[in-house]
Every structure is written in structure tokens, then in C-alpha cells.
Amino acid sequence: MKKQLTLLATLLLASSMTFATEYNARTIKFAATSPKGTPPAIGMELFAEKVAERSGGKIKVRTFPNGVLGGDVQVLSSLQGGLIEMMTWNAGLMLNHVTDFGILDFPFLYTDTAKVDAMLDGEVGKMLTDQLPQQNLVGLAFWELGVRNLTNNKRPVTKLEDIAGLKIRAQQSPLFLDVWRELGANPTPLPFTEVHTALETGTVDGQENPAALILASKFNEVQKYLSLTRHNYNPQIVLIGKGFWDTLNEDEKKLLTDVAMEVRLEQRRISREADSKAIAQLEAAGMQVNEVPVAEITRIQAKIKPVVDKYAAQINPELVKKVYEAMDVPQQ
């Protein structure tokens, strides 16, 4: 009997050792260009708090919002090179590294957030993130930046023709540059960290971003008109460098993945609530805000269709089909 009890105790001890979580003391640098107080930066703070709590303080996440570690392209390079460990940025900008990600920046496609969430959290999201390790990256979750609108200092944009001739700061993506050129604008690719100065000095007439980001960046101080074009929905991807990822044990990998996925729900809610509030605050602060008629949005969509077709032809046809099916939109 005594031998049996001893054996049982040994088995129980071994079992507890097998299932005990193991976290090593680590510090993670988590960067973004989004200013403090914006939905992406709030998501980063929530992530840091939860990781510290669940690791018993062993894993510390230091957040670096507001582009303090550089612009998006620079930070991504630092991530791939192992100088920092994590970042969050607009998922569609991965087009410059993985062509299929360009589909996430197709204009006017992602209007139903519930369908977008299901798509990114499901098979389509996996088809995209599965391609990241070859770029020395790992995707943990999709968060969001929000819906982009156009601001400028020249005139309200109420029709297609109002876009012509505007010097617009564009994201550093060939898709965005082609879209604005097709609409008759003069796009200028700039890192987000340089946008406020470019607007203030008149280097560009306008820019396009979600309302919460426009407000937090104080673009209303250097921009007069806000036109609610709602032309792009921006999911953000939470990235971790593969070199760092490969140093983690399975418990640490699970912790970071679980927390990033958990935070996505709260982060998306915060982002969506912030949008309408920010528009009202921008108007109260003096910006002239206007809706763009549906008929004009339809004209804009028709005008940029050749650009969408061009990039769709470069993307995995199976992925394109699944995205349009997920959004319940006829494939163009």
C-alpha cells in the first residue's frame, strides 16, 4: 500500500511539473506610429498590462507609440532585424512584402465590420499570416485602426471632381498611390511621423486617416475640411519578429498569442466607439465636416475600378474569391 501511495505521489508530481507554465524574464519593445490615446496605442497598453499580470511580472512589455522609434517602414525593418520585438501597423501595407496583403486595402470593400471580423479571425486571416514567417515575421492577431476619411485645406470634397489637383499625403503603398492618381490627385508618400509638418508647411494639401487618429494627431489645427469619404477600412496586424519568437518557449508563445487575440475584441470596440465621437469633436473644434453623397461614392468607386482590378490580378485568386464571399460582395 505504501509503495502504491509513493508511486501515486510521484505521478502527481510529474503531472504538475508537466502542466506548470514556464515564463522567463523578458522585456519586449512594442512599437507603433499611432499617437498615445488612439485605439491602437490603447490596445498596446492593454496587451502590456495583461502580459505582465499573467506572467507574474516576468514578461514586461514596453510600449513605444507615436513613432518614437521611427516610421512604419523603419520600425518594420527593425522588427525583422531583431532590434525591437513587436509592432502594430496597417495590415494592407504588408503589400510591399507579401502581395496578398494588398487586398486588405481595397477601397469601399469592408463596410460590414462583423463580416470583416469573422473574415480576419478565420480562414482568410490565416491564409495571410501563414505567409509572414518567410518575411521573418509572425502575425499574432488583427486589431484595427478604423475607417479612413479625407481632409484638406482647399475645399470640401462633395463630388469626384473635387479631388482633382489636391496634393494628398498617401501611405507608402503603390496601391494607395495608384488610387489617388486615378482620382486626379497628386499623391505624396510620406511616413506618418512627417504628416503634421507637411500639412502645416503646405507641402501637401491634405491627408486621409480615421477620425480618432486625425483628432489625436491634431490635424484639425492644420486642416480645414473633413469629408466623410469612408473609402478604406484599416485592419491593423500585431506583428512579432520571428527571430525573437523562435527564442520563446511554448508557454510564452501561447501567452502572447492568447493575449493579443483577447485584446482584439476590446480594441475593436474602443476603435468603433471612438470614431463617431472624434468626428463630433473635430467639428466642435472648428473643422468643416461634410458627408459625400452616395451617388458620388458610386462614381468614385467606378473611377478606381481599374486600379482594384490591377491589384486583384496580382493576388492569389483563391484568396480574392474567399474575401469577396466573406464580405458578401460580387467579385469585380
String of DSSP letters for 238-271:
EEEEHHHHTTS-HHHHHHHHHHHHHHHHHHHHHH
| Burial (CB count within 10 angstroms: exposed 0-12, middle 13-18, buried 19+), residue 264 | buried
User: Is residue 115 within 8 Å of 327, Cβ to Cβ?
Assistant: yes
Residue 229 in contact with residue 157, Cβ under 8 Å? Answer: yes
Residue 227 has pLDDT above 90, yes or no: yes
Residue 270 Cα to chain centre, angstroms: 14
Per-residue pLDDT tens digits for 28-72:
999 999 999 999 999 999 999 999 999 999 999 999 999 999 988
Number of H helices, E strands in the chain: 12, 9
Mean pLDDT, the chain, integer: 93
Q: What is the pLDDT of residues 85-95, one digit of tens each?
A: 999 999 999 99
User: How many whole angstroms from its chain centre is CA 286?
Assistant: 28
Helix, strand, or coil here: 179? Answer: helix
CB 167 within 8 A of CB 133: no
Pairing mode, if any, of strands 86-90 and 225-241? antiparallel
**In the CATH scheme, what is the code of domain 24-326?**
3.40.190.170
Q: Are strands 86-90 and 137-152 parallel, antiparallel or unpaired?
A: unpaired
Instruction: Collect all residues with Cβ–Cβ distance below 8 Å to 103 and sequence separation of at least 6.
Output: 92, 311, 312, 315, 319, 320, 323
What percent of the chain shows pLDDT beyond 90? 89
Extents of the domains making up the chain: 24-326
Q: What is the pLDDT of residue 222?
A: 97
Residue 82 phi/psi, 5-degree rounding, is: 85, 10
Local structure of residue 35 (DSSP, 8 states) = P
In this prediction the pTM is 0.90
